[in-house]
Amino acid sequence: MKRYFLATAIFCAGAVSGCEEKNTTSLDLGFLEVNPRTVEVLIPFGDFVDDVQVFGGYGSAADLGRGFVGQDFGGLDARTLLHVGDYPTISAVVPGTLSFSTARVVLFFDTLRGTLDGPVAIQLFDVQEQWHPPTVTWEAAVDTAGDPRAWSQPGGGVTTLLGGGTFDITPVQPAGGGEAGFKDSVSIRIDSATVAALGDGTSGTTGLLVAAAQPGKLLHLVDVGFRITTRASALPDSTFEESAPLEDLVFMSDPAPTAPLGWIRVGGTPAWRSVLTMSIPRTITGTPEVCGAVGCEVDLTEVDLNLAELVLTTRQAAPPFEPQDTTQVHVRTVLNPELLPKAPLGQVVPFPRDYAPELFSTQAGTQVPLWLTSLVIEVLRIAGETGTVPVTTIALFSNPEPNILGFTAFEGAGAGAPALRLLYTIANPVGLP
């Protein structure tokens, strides 16, 4: 017989103010006493989990829509690539044919996330090799099945330094007074020859690369502007700035995280999913309040299930991959487990949960719930109708996917292993055998 941790709360069927209080003005019609009991049970990992698998590679860095710039941040290097789009052919400000000289590349950084405890030196390089945004990595410029190509040198190939600047979040006091604000950008000027090469599809220059120039730092690059110094034929003696679009903002990092051994991982870029195969028990050991002194087993298909939670214990991720933002974890059933890691998924199980980043760093070891109530109710309904409890496979994944550079981590088998918490109500004591 399996043993579970149990707690029982007894509720009266009448008024909330007291279980023994009776209404003296009402008639005793001899109804059957309901005497419901609400019971909590905690089913340990080994009694309901058949298997845990962790899969990576969902989505790509190009799907994230932001970049990262870092050097030896907990052992991690990160650089950001971008393509320059077509230059403007007309101006909304000045008529005439346009010509271009120098330009400014304006890098906008997140002022809430990243290493913000001091100035960070930033460098800008050109890129001379063709690269494929959806598949580019630190090692591979193109990683498609039909045309894989490695960088001539890991991290972007052989590049040329175009310029640099310093990002410093130190509050800036406006010239006209008022409340100080944070500096969120760095402007790096590039020369006219580079501007011409970036605008010429035959030049061999395929984009720009942004890197950090000092160790121990990691910044989140949220946007980039490309401002070109421009002249129009109608006013050849005047200059103004026009913008060219910057496309395919994508980061590459080294090293890539290896697959976890014995623990659960969710999120990251590319994203990770954890898949649990479960056999939820139909019968569990009842408490003395439910069964009496002789003991009994409770059939979960014959009770009212109020709550089902997967109780997870958070784990500290490696420093470069600690999440720096809240992660929302969703649960879906896996429709065809034999097709993993590309198996289709069912509907989202209500309700997804948000987990704060500190749960995976300073507060690692915290128990957190993930709701499975509707899923377990459906499993028990099928068991009641068919006499067999179906094996259920669920996927834990982040939303959106990918979402951030770091990922959430939870303990697997062993200390802090997942448990299934059930809260159910039974109307009457179970009859003695």
Mean pLDDT per 10-residue section of the chain, whose length is 433 residues = 49 35 41 69 96 96 94 96 93 91 96 88 96 96 93 96 92 64 87 94 92 95 96 92 93 94 95 97 85 82 96 93 93 97 94 95 97 97 95 96 93 96 81 46
Tell me how far the alpha carbon of residue 334 is from its chain's centroid: 19
Residue 207 is which amino acid?
A: G
What is the pLDDT at residue 10?
Answer: 39
DSSP state of 318: P
Q: How many CB atoms lie within 10 A of CB 106?
A: 17
Residue entry with tokens 């439910």 = 290
Cα separation, 2 vs 43, whole angstroms: 9
Return the pLDDT at 22. 39
* Angstrom distance (rounded) from CA 104 to CA 102: 7
Report the alpha-carbon angle 142-144-147, nearest 5.
75
- 43: tokens are 């089913």
Task: Report whether 55 contacts 340 (CB < 8 A).
Answer: yes
Task: Quote the pLDDT of residue 36.
Answer: 80
Other beta carbons within 10 Å of 367: 14
In terms of Cβ atoms closer than 10 Å to its own Cβ (0-12, 13-18, 19+), residue 35 is middle
Say how far apart CA 266 and CA 186 lie, in whole Å.
Answer: 33
- C-beta of residue 150 within 8 angstroms of C-beta of residue 139: yes
Distance CA 154, CA 158 (A): 9
Token readout for 57 is 């590679």
Cα–Cα nearest to 69, from 114, 136, 135: 114
The structure tokens 């949220």 sit at 222
358 CB contacts (<8 Å, ≥6 apart)? none
Whole-Å CA distances, 127 to 72, 224, 229, 269 = 22, 16, 22, 23
The strands making up 5-10's β-sheet, listed across from edge to edge, are 5-10, 37-43, 419-426, 304-313, 367-371
Please count the other Cβ atoms lying within 10 Å of the Cβ belonging to residue 295. 15
Q: What is the pLDDT of residue 175?
A: 66
Tell me how far the alpha carbon of residue 21 is from its chain's centroid: 53
d(CA 6, CA 424): 11
3-state helix, strand, coil in the chain (%, to 5): 10, 45, 45
Distance separating alpha carbons of residues 67 and 80, to the nearest angstrom: 5
